[in-house]
Structure 1
Amino acid sequence: MTVSADGLPEAAAPGDPAPPPGLVVVGHFDQPPGYGISRPRGADSWLFTWTTGGQGRLRHGSTEARAGAGDLVVLAPGVAHGYGVAQGAPHWAFWWVHCQARPSWRSWLRPYDAGEGMYVVAPTPDAVHGRIEAAFRRMLDDARWTGTEAPPVTAPGEESVAVAHGTAARELALCSLEEVVLLTAGAAPTRPPRPGVDARVRRAQALIAADPAAPHTVRSLAEHVALSPSRFAHLFTQQLGQSPMRVLREARLRHAARLLESTDLSVERVAAASGFASPFHFNRVFRDRYGRPPGAYRGSGPMVGA
């Protein structure tokens, strides 16, 4: 994703200062050719950009990237950076946010580290673009909330720059940005798919992993990927070495183990929340998988390698 950025536009305002740390500043720009910002000393805050049209070019230290529609590019603080309309592009339309990133975001962004604190999350599937756009619009509205009446609603085409001064407004805006980070980092591919695995099998795997407690069956999974149940079961087992229901059971057991580790839900509730209709059956298969019943697993923690 990193590219040469020869010809990156000069700064519209050399040394243009970034917003001070502690604030959340959000806006939407649609800039013509020639627009650019240069910050030789970097910024004290994080910069998040999500392109909605045209193309932009961003430089962070010696790392450079080109951003098209649906690409999230994040710049960490403290590194010289610059950005502007890509050479030859008719414009660059993008949402941008200056803020202090929540610590949990770093682990979500880490697989997309392009170097020197630049994170390039791309491509983002078209299916989530609408929700990401809505999150940015909500962020803009929430940043202007006074804490008394309902947050204002900004109509499309009336976007401006908003600064979240109040604590509640800042937290609401950051919650919307967290949704953006999750939607982009969770949907963009971090590595090429396993060679030779049929795309329909991968989609079924993703359905199971996303919601193992759902009432999946061979028939329902087959319908999602437009195959007959018999053809789907044969293809899935042939390519992964395990039947769909075996993979589903393993996913449910892993889900149950995480719930036992991180919540105080009763074993019966954990069983139900993990897709097991019978607590007795859940206890038996859990002990077979982890070597001890659910209650004992919770009391002693997970085994190494489990």
Structure 2
Amino acid sequence: MTADGLPRTAAPADPGPPPGLVVVGHFDQPPGYGVSRPRGADSWLFTWTTGGRGELRQGAAHTRAGVGDLVVLAPGVRHDYGVEGAAPHWRFWWAHCQARPSWAAWLGPFEVGEGMYVLPPTPADAHARIEAAFGRMLTAARWTGTGTPPGPAADREQVAVAHGAAARELALCALEEVVLLTAGTARTPSPRPGVDPRVRRAQEMVAADPGAPHTVESLAAGVGLSPSRFAHLFTEQLGRSPMRALREARLHHAARLLESTDLPVERVAAASGFVSPFHFNRVFRERYGLPPGAYRSGGPMVDG
């Protein structure tokens, strides 16, 4: 399906795609274009601007989107978006889908309220790779699941719907690259005032390799503190103990492995730093509301 079959200006209460589908498109819309969904959508909406300016509202949250801005809207909240009033046009990639649970850790720091996530503009040298990832998403969504996936379309202003399981997974893999690139290159919110550099360094050590055999002693040694002083300082400044923070990082890592690999659950547990598969199953279910096997089959996105 191409944009030729769609209205240039969406009518009020334009319905969103039903849950379970992956829909992706690239539009260049003139002034007057707008979409209004009083009940929101059943799926997540991702927009990445490549030209002009857009304006998006989600409940009481509001933002303007310029070149390089990724804006994400969670389902179930009234939203409206369109060309910003003074802009000559709005050129943007967009995708409707069910977000992968592990994306919460990347998007979470950029939530501005009401389920709206606004990431700072991505650096210009990353734009080509993000554009290419969206292009692969469009190509993957057009794949029937048999034969070789089609090549890039000549007409970039298209809409593609991924119906088959293989096409959906390939499309989501491409969108995941967009999420990682935009969140990873963004200037994350400033750390809480007064956070000790040694505490931040310990956080970086855990994030770099959550499956490593970290302990309070090893982390303390890595930042030049005694174990007792390190544990007290970490807990005092971040509101949770080093071991609780480590467990959370390991659970996020395990979630990513479950989504992106076919490793047995026992190996996912070991690769994420959990010695006991039984313990891993219990804490994973406590965190995500599903046992690892059921989570791999597809569950709702949860906040990190």
Q: Give the TM-score normalised by structure 1.
A: 0.63
Q: Does 1:113 align with 2:111?
A: yes
1:1-306 alignment runs, 5 A limit: 12-155=10-153, 157-192=155-190, 258-261=210-213, 289=221
Counterpart contact for 2:109–2:189, Cα < 8 Å: no
Q: Distance in 1 between matches of 2:142 and 2:88?
A: 31
**How far apart are 1:251 and its partner, in Å?**
9.8
Residue 261 (structure 1) shift: 4.1
CA RMSD of aligned residues (A): 3.1
- In structure 2, C-alpha distance between the alignment counterparts of 1:59 and 1:191, rounded to whole Å: 21
Whole-Å separation in 1 of the counterparts to 2:163 and 2:10: 27
Structure with larger RCO (C-alpha < 8 A, sep 6+): 2
Contact 1:52 1:68 in 2 (8 A): yes
For 2:175 and 2:245, the matched residues in 1 are separated by 35
* Distance in 1 (alpha carbons) for counterparts of 2:208 and 2:138: 38
Instruction: Kindly state the Cα deviation for residue 255 of structure 1 after the two structures are TM-superposed.
Output: 7.7
Question: Are residues 40 and 176 of structure 1, via their aligned partners in 2, closer, same or farther at CA, if it must alter by over 3 Å?
Answer: same
Please give the secondary structure, in 1, of the residue aligned with 2:67. Answer: coil
Q: How far apart, in 2, do the equivalents of 1:143 and 1:167 lie?
A: 10
CA distances 1:244-270 after superposition (whole Å, capped 9, x unpaired): xxx8xx8997589734349xxxxxxxx
Unmatched runs of 5 consecutive residues or more in structure 1: 1-10, 196-239, 242-246, 263-284, 293-301
Q: In 2, Cα distance between the equivalents of 1:190 and 1:287?
A: 23
TM-score, normalised to structure 2, is 0.63
Matched residues in 2 for 1:256 and 1:95: separation? 31
* Distance apart, 1:155 and its partner CA: 3.9
Secondary structure (helix, strand or coil) at the match of 1:258 reads coil
1:15/1:192 Cα in 2 relative to 1: closer, same or farther (>3 Å)? same
What fraction of aligned residue pairs are identical, expressed as a percent? Answer: 65
Cα offsets for 1:79-105 (capped at 9, x unmatched): 000000001100000000000011111
Count of residue correspondences: 214
Which secondary structure does the structure 2 equivalent of 1:179 belong to?
A: helix
Over 4 Å off, 4+ runs: 192-195, 250-257, 285-288, 302-306
Matched residue SS, 2:77? coil
Judging changes above 3 Å, is the alpha-carbon distance between structure 1 residues 289 and 87 closer, same or farther for their aligned structure 2 residues?
same
* CA pair 87-175 structure 1, distance change in 2 beyond 3 A: same
2:28·2:91 contact (CA, 8 Å) conserved in 1? yes
